[in-house]
Amino acid sequence: MTFSNAGVPLPLLVSESGCRFLGEGGFPSGMFAEAAYQNHQVTLLPGDTVLFATDGLHEMRNHQDEDLSWGKLGEIWNACLGKSADEALDFLFAEVRAFSGEGRDHDDITAVVLRVPGGGCGF
């Protein structure tokens, strides 16, 4: 997979070798006319699943005013190994809601899951 990052959080890969962020950050799209964006490449294997999400996800807050955090997001995403893309997204949002409680959104959340077919489960 080849991708560039234009000001959104780094994609998060879960695979048989663990959970890790991919690439490096970049300026938000449209912020500077002269901005250049570096391409990043990663080889994905069957069963690998990548989460692309806006910052509203990891900045979700709970009733104690704590952020979900990159660490907690990584733990949740690591638990998605072996799940289909739909199952992973459903699990992710259920865990985020359990952390934050209802009605705690303070920012928009957009998430896209890319799963490489294979690795023992469906699409």
The CATH number of the domain holding residue 34 is 3.60.40.10
Digit-coded pLDDT (tens) for 54-78: 888 888 888 888 888 888 899 999 9
| Structural domain includes residue 122 | no
Digit-coded pLDDT (tens) for 92-115: 999 988 988 865 556 788 899 999
Give residue 74's domain range.
Answer: 2-115
- Tokens 């489960």 belong to which residue? 121
| Structural domain includes residue 63 | yes
Q: State residue 52's pLDDT score.
A: 93
The candidate with the shortest Cα–Cα distance to 14, out of 113, 123, 118, is 113
Report whether 83 contacts 92 (CB < 8 A): no
Instruction: Show the tokens assigned to 101.
Output: 């409680």
On average, the pLDDT of the chain sits at 86
| Structural domain includes residue 93 | yes
| Structural domain includes residue 66 | yes
Instruction: Show the tokens assigned to 105.
Output: 């959104």
What is the residue type of 109? Answer: I
| Structural domain includes residue 98 | yes
| Structural domain includes residue 123 | no
Q: State residue 122's pLDDT score.
A: 45
Q: Which run of H or E residues covers position 51?
A: strand 49-53
- Give the number of domains in the chain: 1
